[in-house]
Amino acid sequence: MTTSDPPNDVHPPHLYPPYASSVKRAPHELLMPLPTALRDHGGPVFSPSRLRPDDHDATRNARVNGEPLGERILVRGRLLDAAGRPVRGALIETWQANAAGRYVHGRDQHDAPLDPNFVGTARMLTDEHGEYELISIRPGAYPWGNHPNAWRPAHIHFSVFGTNFTERLVSQMYFPGDPLLAHDPIYQGIPDPQGQQRLISRFDLNLTEPGWALGYRFDIVLGGQHATPFEDPDHDD
């Protein structure tokens, strides 16, 4: 899976000094061209039969003996190509912190509680209209040590696979009105202000389930003038 860069590139640079991790991860030497692209090689592929009916519902797919804590959210959107056509049957994976701002990960030492009924991961396939649905808990902000008093805004990571696992694009979804966006170098590293806005979900009252969950819309566009900004898959903050 590839993107066609829009006239004003919206994708963040690999090296952006305010984002300290990028200094360590970005290449500092000229890249070596490969004789063929990864997309020219077959496999490995994913099988739709491996998805469970509740894999898209992070409030249920890891439940042990109760409901996860936090504000339930319902996220729906479309996966579109550069021409605005739906991308059908694509695998989307998401991961996020819990409502207290903590990941289920050994390297996360944030002094916040884990939730025994929530691991923060989900996966789903787009339908014939290129649409997906995610049910989850609104993630909390968390400190991340990039700079003094640094906090990451609430966000959900989205990973989109093409026809095999070598075709992968990674992005993040933010929430409207978050004051931390103005202080976040990952978000601010996107060179195009319009591109920044494409990472912010839209609250949708019609999608909201009365008495149950708030609804948000988040479309992912793989290229063209309305492309969603994508990042280096190794940057997972």
Residues serving a catalytic function are 103, 142, 152, 155, 157
Task: Give the Cα-Cα-Cα angle 46, 121, 127 (nearest 5 degrees).
Answer: 50
Q: In this structure, are residues 236 and 186 in contact, taking their beta carbons and an 8 Å threshold? A: no
Residue 78 · residue 86 · CB < 8 Å: yes
The candidate with the shortest Cα–Cα distance to 101, out of 116, 112, 109, is 112
Q: Which residue has the tokens 């990674």?
A: 170
Where are the extended beta strands (E) located within 138-181? Answer: 142-143, 151-152, 155-161, 168-174
Q: Determine how β-strand 72-80 pairs with β-strand 220-221.
A: parallel
